[in-house]
């Protein structure tokens, strides 16, 4: 299950640590965190799953919740290989889930 559907709170700390309070299978609230730098990289100005260290080439990093389902979207200005800056975003709900109160990368 996508983590945001069972999240009590979602925050971004230090521009790369996803911190949440998630409900587990019993409905109990569990604190959980995930270092997004371990799973998201920068591919020439675009976010890329299964990569690392997006934060090293990013500025203006933010986390928003959008739409009726409050989809968690990571936004940043990312550097390109030519030294340009490009606005980018990635839907964290696509690959991050809740495994009984713990954030997991899928």
pLDDT of residue 2: 85
Tens-digit pLDDT profile for residues 26-65: 999 999 999 999 999 999 999 999 999 999 999 999 999 9
In terms of CATH, what superfamily is 3-105?
Cyanovirin-N (2.30.60.10)
Max CA separation in the chain (angstroms): 50
State the pTM of this model: 0.94
Provide the pairing of β-strand 29-35 with 17-23.
antiparallel
* Cα Rg of the chain, angstroms: 14
Task: Answer for the pair 33, 18: CB distance below 8 angstroms, yes or no.
Answer: yes
Q: Tell me how crowded residue 94 is: count the other CB atoms within 10 A of its CB.
A: 12
């Amino acid at each position: 299950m996508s983590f945001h559907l069972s999240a009590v709170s979602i925050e971004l700390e230090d521009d790369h640590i996803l911190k949440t309070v998630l409900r587990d299978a019993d409905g109990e609230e569990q604190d959980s965190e995930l270092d997004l730098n371990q799973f998201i990289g920068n591919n020439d100005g675009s976010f890329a799953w299964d990569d690392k260290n997006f934060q090293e080439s990013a500025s203006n990093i933010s986390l928003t919740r959008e739409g009726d389902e409050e989809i968690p979207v990571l936004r940043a200005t990312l550097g390109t290989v030519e030294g340009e800056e490009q606005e980018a975003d990635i839907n964290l709900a696509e690959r991050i889930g809740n495994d009984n109160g713990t954030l997991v990368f899928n």
